[in-house]
Amino acid sequence: MVITDFLERNAREFGDDICLVEVNPERKESRRVTWREYELIESTSPEYYRNEISWQIFDEKANRFANLLLSRGVKKGDKIAILLMNCLEWLPIYFGILKTGALAVPLNFRYTSEEIKYCINKADVNILVFGPEFIGRVEAISEEISKTRLLYFVGENCPSFAEDYSIATSNCSSRKPNIILDEKDDAAIYFSSGTTGFPKAILHNHESLAHSCRTEQAHHGQTRDDVFLCIPPLYHTGAKMHWFGSLLAGSKAVLLKGTSPDVILETASKEKCTIVWLLVPWAQDILTSLDLGKLKLSDYELTQWRLMHIGAQPVPQSLIRRWFEYFPDHQYDTNYGLSESIGPGCVHLGVENPHKVGAIGIPGYGWEVRIVDEDFCEVPKGHVGELAVKGPGVMTCYYNDPEASAAVLRGSENEWLLTGDVAQIDEDGFIWLVDRAKDVIISGGENIYPVQIEDFLSAHPKIKDVAVIGLADDRLGEIVAAIIESIPGVECTEDEINEFCKQLPRYKRPRKLIFADVPRNPTGKIEKPKLREMYGAVGLVAQQNKA
């Protein structure tokens, strides 16, 4: 099966059931449109904007867009880029692209005009679909990119340099296009985080996408009674592939615009959400608000909430211990994955293994793992090496980049993916992430893994978030520096942290403490390249002089 088969099955069998809800607490305006588009349901609060669509409308919208694309000459292998904030149109557009045999190319909403242009050129994009938040950025490059590409605008007040998506699709057939798809057909191009320069274009086929559905449901047991709260951006593999479990189960999902603790808990309560995927900062904020008394669990109806899971970055053990204090009945899972391995799930903790919190877990459904040395030979259990994964979700390649592909794909059929993560397997077969290979600090000849120090410091009751990087040092090569974001309104001193760090071996103790915000990208990863740039040798001296 290809992934569009799941959508079409849901439309046949559960057509009138609601599948997607969009909630935007910050949007005050509301409008009612025809039921064939979607029905607007207003809550008692005028600031609680809510929209929803059924499986049948979802599938019809995807078909309309697919038929529009085909009428404009789109064929198998063409590439259609999506530059939208999370909204009800996002997934129907994505599936409409797939139904034509073209490739969906989701773009990061933080990209600048130049990055948008780079990705469009890198992926050989034929059409760009964008929303109102990106008018300025697209307009800046519109003359260059529109010479050979179509531009579709999703929203009100379409700019003159683009075509209105709603008008263009309104007269298109809602019937399924007659395009035969195979699981080995190319399906999507995702872009890497781009932490070492411009992002790489990651090519996946339909088999990858379909397998991610099965993996997600195998791990979290979605049924038609579940309601999944989706907060992260859909352009990222993590959010979409977790939603794929809802797709396979035929269950409802809520797209929430907003990450504040009160908005998350209010939405989980109002929408009766049973599964919530959080990033570390959001979980930290919820716990901090509960600790400070800014939120009270008794104000919400959360008894239906059965599973909280986290992915996209290392998870401090102390955070999950605190979470269980407030939510003792929750199931918990950690999800590990890369865009190159179709997002989360190639390794996961498993809801049955809370005693192993701190590990990233065991091989996911349909996946194999190895810990290897530089020659791709397995290291003995307990030894540190690079994590490699194998499964149906491994990317085909980096698109149009054979050199980069060869650097990470191994095996006779390129079936093994080197993740770039340093890890080890314990005596029980659980995998522990040590650090990113490129983030390892070498100080006085000792390898120091920042994640281990971050995990230790996260247990301090006054620390909200922490990042550890290496700073250049004439004598030791590098020293450990900790950027510490303390809990708002709580004084945290250098002496306190230094005293706390006496529990660490001397060579692991931070030599430099910097009290500042910890920057994270939209998927929750600490932006360490930015921190190195900010607090490198020159930047640190400048900061000290300013102080």
Q: What is the model's pLDDT at position 522?
A: 67
Tokens 């303390």 correspond to what residue? Answer: 486
Q: Which of 388, 504, 382 is nearest to 453 (CA)?
A: 504
H-assigned helices in 481-547: 494-500, 528-535, 537-546
Taking the domains of the chain in order of start, what are their residue ranges? 54-206, 440-546
- Residues 6 or more apart in contact with residue 395 via CB below 8 angstroms: 202, 203, 204, 208, 339, 340, 341, 342, 417
Tell me the residue type at 371.
I
Q: Residue 503: how many CA atoms within 13 Å on its side-chain side? A: 9
Digitized pLDDT (tens) for each residue of the chain, 547 residues in all: 899 999 999 999 999 999 999 998 876 543 333 323 333 333 334 456 899 999 999 999 999 999 999 999 999 999 999 999 999 999 999 999 999 999 999 998 888 898 899 999 999 999 999 999 999 999 999 998 988 899 999 999 999 999 999 999 999 999 999 999 999 999 999 998 654 457 899 999 999 999 999 999 999 999 999 999 999 899 988 888 999 999 999 999 999 998 899 999 999 999 999 999 998 888 988 999 999 999 999 999 999 999 999 876 667 788 899 999 999 999 999 998 889 998 788 999 999 998 898 889 999 999 999 999 999 999 998 898 999 999 999 999 999 999 999 999 999 889 999 998 889 999 999 999 876 667 778 776 667 878 888 888 988 999 999 999 888 876 677 889 999 999 888 899 999 999 999 988 788 899 999 999 998 876 677 888 788 888 874 344 334 433 3
Look at residue 366 and give its three-state secondary structure: coil
- Element containing residue 56 per DSSP (H, E): helix 55-71
Torsion of CA 336, 338, 343, 347, to 10 degrees: -30
- The answer to whether residues 255 and 20 touch, using CB atoms and an 8 Å cutoff, is yes
Measured in whole angstroms, how far is the alpha carbon of residue 287 from the centre of its chain?
Answer: 21
Give the span between the Cα atoms of 491 and 78, in whole angstroms. Answer: 56
**Span 54-206 CATH architecture:** 3-Layer(aba) Sandwich (3.40)
- Contact present, 274 and 225 (Cβ < 8 Å): yes
Q: What's the fold here for domain 440-546?
A: GMP Synthetase; Chain A, domain 3 (3.30.300)
Cα four-point dihedral sign 216, 221, 222, 226:
negative
- Write the DSSP string, 250-297: T-EEEEE---SHHHHHHHHHHTT-SEEEE-HHHHHHHHHHHHTTS--G
Give the predicted TM-score (pTM) of the model.
Answer: 0.82
